[in-house]
A and B are shown apart, each in its own frame.
Chain A
């Protein structure tokens, strides 16, 4: 019972205070009617201020207390502002989008260039690698021998195909031996080893032996190696 009563009382109190508030508002509106323009300008200013990005809690609260008109004006201004803002935002977004598109395009272009360069580089690298492999894959001979081993034949067979695609090159074949057992004998052995390799290449179809320079060389490091 007491609960329900207090609820009624509260509702009544609210109604009373509401009517009182309305009265006060209408009176105030009459009083301040003359200063309306001025006031609205002020409000506008305040709105502007608000829009400037430094909203003051005070202003916001006081506005609805002033009058409906100011409120409206403020709302309109706000709306305008909002619209302006939106437009700006839209413009901005458009700009951004445009920039993004441009950027994207540039990126794509760049990527394409890069890709192409990479491809070229890769191709060059591959070519260089093949060439390097060609140059650096040595064939080895048994001690004091110049006959080709099976392994040497396999390596030379690979070299043949590469050589057939590069008929414009001059090829130097160097037969290396170490200096043990007299450098004079080893130079002769080195030359024979280089000749063995050249004969294989020519027999396998590499054109013109004039393409070759054959050398017997000695080295202190490494045993019985042939570089092509």
Chain B
């Protein structure tokens, strides 16, 4: 009985963590390349609405996921053109991108409000996915496994491969990387596209897996949590995984409390918990500036123009 409860807690925790894990992982790569894209929330929303619209029209969640990826990349490209090619301020552009994403997703999603689709199902056959114990391992959908594989892949990419080394170099000292002969702008375009793809995918996880139904501002500020998570993880993919699941746990507190029949604590307070945790983490990080500064890519947020 207790194991069944634990497993069900685990399942909700993983599901809640996956979208922020994806979005944060994408943003981690972007920031490692020296770009601060605060538009994660906006990219998640355009991904969410595009994924839902395509899945609803075609009946295929796979097509929906692909559409979400593409929409995330497309939104990210707006940011990339503005900040890289036109050297607009990254912070302002990122904030604008979020506002744009909120508006665009509301507009596109207006006709879909309240519609439902078939939820993204588990990958493995019912015998495994429905097994009371084994479902803890085999009961997840494709995006969960993909997110875990991506954490490993990004970690290896950054630490072990030459392109990963070059990407870090661009984030560490763009002028030097340019002087040596690396295409700083092209590499940053690539990183931003990757970040957009993962943010779009993360957003679509809300509309295709968590709540297979469209509602306005579906992601509810999770993009900001993803941004905080990158700092919390000190730009390390392994710590990012840990952090995402920790935040996932905090986020599901409300549900768990309800399930456990706790009534003395207002559910609204528990719903606030992840945002309070975000503020707490960011405050702690800025207090411990000594480590925070060392970990951050040295060129983070600085515009670069080849002269």
Chains A and B bind each other:
no
* A residues apposed to B, CB below 8 Å: none
* B residues apposed to A, CB below 8 Å: none
